[in-house]
Chains A and B, each alone.
Chain A
Amino acid sequence: MAATPIQLDEHGRLRHFLTIENLPRELLVEILDHAERFTVVGDRAVKKVPLLRGRTVVNLFFEPSTRTRTTFELAAKRLSADVMNLNIEASATRKGESLSDTLRTLEAMDTDMFVVRHQDSGAPEFIARQVAPGVSVINAGDGRHAHPTQAMLDVFTIRRHKPAFEDLRVAIVGDITHSRVARSEIHALKILGVPDIRVVGPKTLLPTAIESLGVGVFHDLDEGIAGVDVVIMLRLQQERMQSALLPSGHEYFHTYGLTPARLKRAARDAIVMHPGPINRGVEIDSAVADGHQSVILQQVTHGIAVRMAVMSMVLGSHAQAA
């Protein structure tokens, strides 16, 4: 099945972080608790802890990213690691170098950890199966498959506002088909015991048999967010209009855009989230994005703490094994 046994070592500790699917609940809680301790680091005058001193982290980005790459970089630096950023999208692979060759070259530089973003689903796991025993891989987003650190920072943000997962209602709105964030969020919320998870969108943006992941399916935004405690809005990519999945951004906003009026349908104290970067006036109204229910910027801040937690846990498991 889809279990990814390679992400855990023989003691059940995190060795790679590739997908949320099939991870034990305790491990997710451990990441969240860990991240909680790291949040205070950002408030100090000297924002550093020496946990990864002398370790080398390579951000291997085959697809452009600003936010995710920057927060990974910051997280690694706050852990005192040496960080190298490699944007491969324009260089090596275009010259015909294979993924394995790129990897071997980088490994020869004594890297301890690869943070990988790739346009193909499964690429980080492919890399994880190739690296030397002491090297870890963290998935920073692969194709439509998974974005596990984003999902963890989202549930971290949710927990800070709504700690009782077992009573929660969460709606994820927008392009589920192409979203690795949505897939990882669904797994994380399920594992943490959220009983009511909904996906909301037109049929063109909801993948076949999505209900098999244990979510409720809604095509009407008002119905989908009725009474929910958390609304997660997804970014709508411009290219969806070119592939005939939607007529226009204008019509999308009219049908699925989150406005203050529509948000009233959710629970009174509902929070609004977005993995960013946001398209104002396409999936979300500025009044909502900047409003008092929005926790979008907190998500970014939490992203650093969560990534610090994951990185230290992953490299810690090696330290103990060695």
Chain B
Amino acid sequence: MKIRIRGGRVIDPANGVDAETDVYIDGERIVALGRKPPRFTAARDIDAGGRIVCPGFVDLAAHLREPGYEHKATIASELGAAAAGGFTTVCCTPDTAPVVDTPAVVELIHQRARGVRGARVRCIGALTHGLGGEVLAEMQALKNIGCVAVSNVGRPIRDTNVLRNALAYASTLGLTVLLEAEDPWLGARGVMHEGATSTRIGLAGIPAAAETIGLARDLVLLGETGARAHFRTLSCAQAVSYLRDARKRGLHVSADVGIAHLHLVDEDIANHDAHYHVRPPLRSTRDRDALRRALARRQLDALTAHHQPHDADAKAGPFGASAPGISGFDTFLPLALELVEAGAIELAALVDACAVAPARILDLPAGTLGLGAVADVCVFDPAACWTASPATLLSQGHNTPFMGRELRGRVTHTIVGGRLVHALDD
């Protein structure tokens, strides 16, 4: 199908574009920017006046819950929600049941995603068999079937020797490893950031040291093995400086931050509300501000939704007994735009962090509106106001502390591989 996106402000950081212009799509690719190609008749003309046109967002690690936890979310529900949130590619985590540690599970996910009107899915394979942290997963087979990375998501490997071997093996195959920096002992009992608030409301704390010690350990092993790694959702200021030092030493590492961690802090955990329960935990105001600065300076590469949908029961209980995680796709864009509004980051840098950088980190053919590129496009209205409510959220998981919040900024159109998968005005 031929699509013209007319009159929007096109922000394409990969090609240094920030201008009011038209985008022409033919088939699955972008065929022109600005001047209409000869004999081009648009079957679909999208009026983007007053709107932003940018490469579709790429989420590095979202929990889609299928197979195994369909009571929380399904591939279809979440890929739809992702598209409505401006995401065109979603990398799904291997912590399903069964775990994504065999080609069969990857095939199942691909099959379930086929025909879904939504974002494209890419699988992250398990780093160890069953995420058990003991036996290496068959990473070559996972790579062959299309896994874009490997990870022991949600269950950081305790045994340093196993981790070292896993990194070395992944590196042999040229696979990027997604790591979560957490010392398994310091983090074991805690449920929120250790500080004055955890002391006051009587919840067991996770010290910032749990993250920095985990990070330091992993960085040493990355230096030894030469593995390429990406750190998922760093949460504290100190971690950012460790990362900076490691890069100065020439380590090939990248890192992201979750959108909630740029907005919320431990003090927000009023009345033990389980919707604020997330891991890594919401940290201090100082940490949040440092994360914002690091993202703006591009020391943190990517911004993610840290999407973890849950069923209502998972959050229906006291904080410590609830499952951690926030459903992030639906509110991602307006929360990200609030950062621009607050002067914390430039809009072009934000698009870079949401689309360009994550594509680069996993070598995905995305994050660009260049000529001939796959047409993954997001069109949004930065001024559109709406309220997060059970009726407006598309994710099956309604677990968000932003429920009821007035939001500004909404995706109007999402195009995945030249196919219009989301259109708000329809």
Residues of chain A having any CB pair with chain B under 8 Å: 1-4, 21, 98-100, 118, 120-123, 125-126, 142-146, 180, 183, 207-210, 212-213
Contacts and interface: CB of A to CB of B under 8 A. Distances in A.
25 contacts: A1-B267, A2-B270, A2-B271, A3-B270, A21-B200, A100-B316, A100-B317, A120-B319, A120-B320, A120-B321, A121-B201, A121-B320, A122-B320, A123-B317, A143-B202, A143-B320, A144-B202, A180-B202, A207-B198, A207-B205, A208-B194, A208-B195, A208-B199, A212-B200, A213-B200
Q: SS class of chain B's interface: helix, strand, loop or mixed? A: helix
Closest CB pairs A-B (n = 8)? A122-B272, A145-B202, A144-B202, A120-B318, A209-B196, A207-B199, A212-B196, A123-B318
B191 to A, nearest CB: 9
Interface residues on B, range: 20 to 34
Contacts of B267: 1
Contacts of A98: 313, 316-317
A122 B201 CA distance: 8
Interface in B306-325: 313, 316-321
Given A120-B317, A120-B319, A208-B196, A4 B201 contact: no
A100 B200 CA distance: 26
B246 interface: no
B251 interface: no
A213 B199 contact: yes
Interface in B191-238: 194-196, 198-205, 207
Given A2-B200, A125-B272, A143-B320, 20 more contacts: A98-B317, A99-B318, A100-B316, A118-B318, A120-B318, A121-B201, A121-B318, A122-B203, A122-B271, A122-B320, A142-B202, A143-B318, A145-B201, A145-B203, A146-B202, A183-B200, A183-B202, A207-B199, A207-B205, A209-B195
A99 B316 CA distance: 8
Given A98-B313, A208-B205, A121 B272 contact: yes
Interface in B263-290: 267, 270-272
Interface of B: 194-196, 198-205, 207, 267, 270-272, 313, 316-321
B271 A125 contact: yes
Contact of B319 (A21, A122, A180): A122
B318 A122 contact: yes
A82 B319 CA distance: 32
Contacts of A183: 200, 202
Contacts of B205: 207-208
B318 A126 contact: yes
A121 B277 CA distance: 13
A2 B267 CA distance: 9
Given A99-B317, A121-B318, A208 B271 contact: no
Nearest to B272: A122
A126 B267 CA distance: 18
Nearest to A176: B199
Contacts of B199: 207-210, 212-213
Contacts of A146: 202
A210 B198 CA distance: 10
Contacts of A210: 199
Nearest to B267: A1
B284 to A, nearest CB: 10
Contact of B272 (A126, A209, A212): A126
A11 to B, nearest CB: 21
B32 to A, nearest CB: 55
Q: Which of B195, B270, B272, B319 has the most CB of A within 10 A?
A: B272
